[in-house]
Amino acid sequence: MIVYVMYGEDWDPVTRTVVGPIGPRAAAARDAAGAPYAVILRTPGRPQPVAVLHIAWAHRPAGYLGIWAYDDQGRRTREIDIRRLRPDRLFLRRLAQWRYGSPELPEFAGSAGRVRIDLHPDGTSRRVSEPRGDAGPARHTVVRVPGDRSWEPVPAFGEWGQVAATMTGDRTAPVELRTIADPQGSPGVRSWHPPRPMRPRHLAEMFTVDARFTPPPGDRADRYAVRRVVDAGLLRLPSGCLIACDPYGGDADGAPTVFLRPGGYRVEIAVAAYPVKQPGHWRPVEEYVAARVVVSQNPTAYWEPATGPGQDVRLLRDGEFHGFAVGSGTGCFADASAERLLSGKWASDVPHEQDGITVRRDPVSGGGLIAFPSGRGDGSYPVWVGRDARGDITCVVADMLILHRAEIVAG
């Protein structure tokens, strides 16, 4: 089987050309430097590629190899998401496949059958099958995948034969690779990017009184303004192990965890509001947009995500994050030693409550818990750790994601 190899920035399925074609030497230099580039694999007489590889070895938090297969109509039919978790080893993060019932069905049509498998380094995987697409039920299964099935060595530059054989479905025929240039290559820049997990936004501004924000896209609310920052009290952390979770029996075992020096830390809740027109006047509607544990007064130089046991940010896909799940409409910061509080068995002491915020203390461990309304209710919320220029923790912020997609109003 003959397979043509072409290099460039990307592939344009409309014009059926390589975008920003580059030669093999330039591609090899990018590969060695970890810079992004694309590999297009084609067979003679077929206008659509067998596969397109998107490679970015130096991407952070993990090197990336994404592979797409195409059908005769130019639709993507299969995705392979691979991460470079070790210098010499690749991990298979996701397999996904789409089945189109007719040649006229658009790419990724809602009625297309689809299946995806998400894999994890501990050997577990989750399979979601939707044979009728949006029109039918989804079947979820959890299985174990042998370790040798999900790890592969990093291929040397130019060794694309195995990918071609896998994508064509013919693993027995020998593959002859021929590097060529696309005579109709088009200028342009790449439209793809490696997976970008959620990044924090506006974490300082949400705690700045009078800071103003545009309405988030698709939100019916008007402009937001930070009205106040509520002092929720002192959180006792005798163990130094801070977690964020649902205080009413949520999954504290997988909650984001941050280790601090044992002691007491001030907790603040940011409250923003937007105006709603009422007969004869405007009424402000308040929402809890974020909560934070203040560790020091040093300026925050950068942010990093908080994770729970076994969580790895290198496996996240576009826009994903490791957060804490809420099913009661309430989130909290708590000391991990306060087992009675975290199991939903509230202590018998009279709580301190203010603006829907509850402060509790476990009489056994001495650990504290401060609960607050979780924005607009149930869901999953990220936790971010702020650090100063020396790397010391300045604060820990739980973002309720109400203003995450909003923009700051200048002036």
Note the Cα 330 to chain centre separation in Å: 22
Closest CA to 91 of 117, 67, 120, 53: 120
Q: What pLDDT sits at residue 127?
A: 95
Check whether residue 23 and residue 166 sit in a common domain: yes
SS3 state of residue 382:
strand
For range 332-340, the mean pLDDT: 85
For range 340-351, the mean pLDDT: 54
Closest CA to 211 of 138, 272, 302: 272
Residues in Cβ contact with 325 at an 8 Å cutoff, skipping those fewer than 6 apart: 245, 246, 250, 251, 379, 380
Q: Does 193 fall in a domain? A: no
Higher-confidence residue: 186 or 106? Answer: 106
Check whether residue 175 and residue 209 sit in a common domain: no
For range 11-21, the mean pLDDT: 91
Least confident range from 177-181, 347-351, 371-375, 387-391: namely 347-351
Q: Does 409 fall in a domain? A: no
- For residue 403, what is the DSSP state? S
pLDDT tens digit sequence for 209-247? 999 999 888 877 778 999 999 999 999 999 999 999 998
* Confidence band of 375 (pLDDT split at 50, 70, 90): confident
φ, ψ of residue 47 in degrees (nearest 5): -70, -25
Check whether residue 131 and residue 241 sit in a common domain: no
Check whether residue 144 and residue 220 sit in a common domain: no
* Residue 181 burial by Cβ neighbours in a 10 Å radius (0-12, 13-18, 19+): middle
Residue 139 belongs to what domain range? 2-179
State how far the Cα of 385 lies from the Cα of 306, in Å rounded to an integer. Answer: 6
State how far the Cα of 350 lies from the Cα of 357, in Å rounded to an integer. Answer: 13
User: Which two tokens mark 161?
Assistant: 């034969």
In total, how many domains does the chain have? 2
Check whether residue 292 and residue 382 sit in a common domain: yes
Q: What pLDDT sits at residue 347?
A: 43
Closest CA to 13 of 78, 66, 60, 69: 69
For range 337-358, the mean pLDDT: 63
* Confidence band of 362 (pLDDT split at 50, 70, 90): confident
Check whether residue 164 and residue 280 sit in a common domain: no
Alpha helices, H only, 209-359? 339-342
Check whether residue 288 and residue 174 sit in a common domain: no
- For residue 167, what is the DSSP state? H
Check whether residue 170 and residue 216 sit in a common domain: no
SS3 state of residue 27:
helix
For range 99-110, the mean pLDDT: 95
Check whether residue 218 and residue 343 sit in a common domain: yes
pLDDT at 279 over 80: no
Least confident range from 38-42, 161-165, 265-269, 406-410: namely 161-165
φ, ψ of residue 135 in degrees (nearest 5): -85, -5
SS3 state of residue 106:
coil
Q: What pLDDT sits at residue 356?
A: 80
